[in-house]
Amino acid sequence: MTEQEAFEKVVTIVKKFAKDANAVASINMETSILKDLKVNSARLVDVVLELEDAFGITVNDDQADKVRTVGDAVTLIVQGA
């Protein structure tokens, strides 16, 4: 899977949890899931679980703790968790 394919799929997933509609329109690799999209930390766990399901990967706790931006999620996926 390419980085672009992973990015598009990650954006689709995080959009469902985002509280800031304006930020959703300009999501990029540096977009903070917590700060920019206003996803609370409990919902970030749901984002990671959906990423696991969507990409068929397993994300351990240490890896999940490092997912702060859309780019972090994409990198995790491209590396195959």
- Residue 3 phi/psi, 5-degree rounding, is -60, -40
**Total domain count, the chain:** 1
The CATH number that applies at residue 65 is 1.10.1200.10
For residue 39, give its domain range. Answer: 3-78
**Which tens digits make up the pLDDT trace of 22-75?**
999 999 999 999 999 999 999 999 999 999 999 999 999 999 999 999 999 999
Under 8 Å between Cβ of 48 and 64: yes
Query: Residues 6 or more apart from 15 whose CB is under 8 A from it?
Result: 24, 27
User: What pLDDT score does 80 carry?
Assistant: 83
- Residue 19 phi/psi, 5-degree rounding, is -100, -15
